[in-house]
């Protein structure tokens, strides 16, 4: 999924689900060796060989008597056409709560580091000093359905999820395709998002690139992760290994979502990840359900 078009959109949905942890913490060198033996096709996620992009984020909105304000920064480093990428996110969100005359203020800070390496996804948990790794489900789908070329398959998949290209606009002087997506808009340059606006449950988040340098040498130091233990995580929906939209098993997997009722979908999420289910609102659940069905119907044609 991705003219990263797709990656931003589908990752929004995937992030709702999370994943279940499995196994115990292992020696990071042993797991790293296992991951390097993966013979899956290499990913081409952008039509840009390498780059460094910096973003500013603003968060504003009102919900259930609360006012939310926030801001943050993001740093994105990638090489090998996006097959290897590291993103740092630092955000601060302030929530002013006023319910039945009771007022209080809550402050939440986020400091995330995430890395993609040819279909493997790494998430750094700085609080617990551990790194979680799994096969990235969106990238697994791209490997099988698009033979690893995300740029050439992203638009079709985005359209299948209800996205529509509505024009062109420049961001930092780069001519971007503007896509209307469920809940927002994206500005995409050669597969890479330079701007994103999303509104969900009354909260509007806008992320805009403030600096971008492309087709440059990006030193390996930008892709290094902290020296924490690594723990493997179970893939959502059991992984996508062997999935192929053209074979019987692949079609059966797509049919499961295409014909699934919303109640069955909720039960599946509750079973696969009770924590994610608990934290999802009904509106978020419905949005993810509708997009998954649109994508399944589009890909099964």
Res 163: pLDDT: 83
Tell me whether residue 268 is in a domain.
Answer: no
Question: pLDDT at residue 103 above 60?
Answer: yes
Res 253: pLDDT: 59
**Which range has the worst mean pLDDT, 50-59, 111-120, 260-269, 288-297?**
288-297
Question: pLDDT at residue 80 above 90?
Answer: yes
Tell me whether residue 288 is in a domain.
Answer: no
Burial 93-107 (b: 16+ CB within 10 A, else e): beeeeeeeeeeeeee
Question: Whole-angstrom Cα distance, residue 2 to residue 213?
Answer: 20
Question: pLDDT at residue 87 above 70?
Answer: yes
Tell me whether residue 79 is in a domain.
Answer: yes
Full residue range of the structural domain in which residue 48 is found:
5-240
Tell me whether residue 287 is in a domain.
Answer: no
Reported as a pLDDT band with limits 50, 70 and 90, residue 64 is confident
Tell me whether residue 281 is in a domain.
Answer: no
Tell me whether residue 266 is in a domain.
Answer: no
Reported as a pLDDT band with limits 50, 70 and 90, residue 110 is confident
Average pLDDT over residues 261-289: 72
Question: pLDDT at residue 13 above 50?
Answer: no
- The model's pLDDT over 170-205, given as tens digits with 9 standing for 90+, comes to 999 999 999 998 889 999 999 999 999 998 878 899
Question: pLDDT at residue 244 above 50?
Answer: no
Question: pLDDT at residue 1 above 50?
Answer: no
> Angle 282-299/5-17 helices, nearest 10 degrees?
130
Tell me whether residue 54 is in a domain.
Answer: yes
Cα Rg, the chain, nearest whole Å: 19
Q: Which domain CATH number covers 74?
A: 2.50.20.10
Question: pLDDT at residue 107 above 90?
Answer: yes
Tell me whether residue 297 is in a domain.
Answer: no
> Angle 137-145/5-17 helices, nearest 10 degrees?
130
Higher pLDDT, 229 or 35: 229
pTM over 0.75: no
Q: Which residues contact 83 (CB under 8 A, 6 or more apart)?
A: 42, 43, 44, 45, 116, 117, 118
Q: Number of folded domains in the chain?
A: 1
Reported as a pLDDT band with limits 50, 70 and 90, residue 137 is low
Question: pLDDT at residue 129 above 80?
Answer: yes
Question: Whole-angstrom Cα distance, residue 159 to residue 199?
Answer: 19
Question: Whole-angstrom Cα distance, residue 58 to residue 69?
Answer: 8
């Amino acid at each position: 999924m991705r003219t990263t078009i797709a990656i931003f959109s589908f990752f929004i949905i995937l992030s709702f689900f999370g994943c279940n942890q499995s196994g115990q913490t292992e020696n990071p060198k042993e797991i790293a060796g296992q991951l390097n033996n993966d013979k899956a096709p290499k990913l081409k996620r952008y039509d840009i060989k390498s780059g460094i992009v910096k973003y500013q984020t603003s968060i504003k909105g009102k919900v259930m008597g609360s006012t939310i304000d926030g801001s943050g920064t993001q740093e994105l480093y990638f090489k090998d056409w996006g097959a290897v990428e590291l993103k740092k996110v630092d955000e601060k969100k302030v929530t002013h709560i006023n319910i039945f005359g009771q007022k209080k203020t809550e402050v939440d800070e986020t400091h995330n580091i995430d890395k993609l390496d040819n279909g493997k996804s790494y998430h750094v948990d700085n609080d617990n000093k551990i790194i979680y790794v799994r096969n990235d489900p969106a990238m697994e789908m791209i490997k099988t359905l698009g033979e690893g070329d995300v740029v050439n398959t992203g638009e079709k998949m985005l359209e299948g999820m209800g996205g529509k290209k509505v024009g062109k606009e420049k961001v930092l002087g780069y001519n971007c395709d503007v896509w209307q997506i469920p809940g927002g808009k994206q500005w995409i340059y050669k597969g890479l998002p330079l701007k994103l606006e999303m509104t969900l449950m009354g909260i509007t988040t806008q992320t805009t690139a403030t600096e971008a340098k492309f087709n440059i040498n990006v030193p390996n130091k930008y892709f290094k992760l902290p020296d924490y233990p690594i723990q493997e995580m179970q893939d959502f929906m059991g992984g996508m290994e062997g999935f192929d939209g053209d074979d019987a098993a692949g079609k059966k997997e797509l049919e499961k979502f295409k014909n699934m009722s919303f109640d069955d979908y909720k039960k599946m999420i509750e079973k696969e990840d009770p924590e994610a289910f608990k934290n999802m609102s009904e509106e978020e659940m419905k949005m993810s359900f509708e997009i998954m069905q649109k994508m399944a119907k589009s890909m099964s044609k």
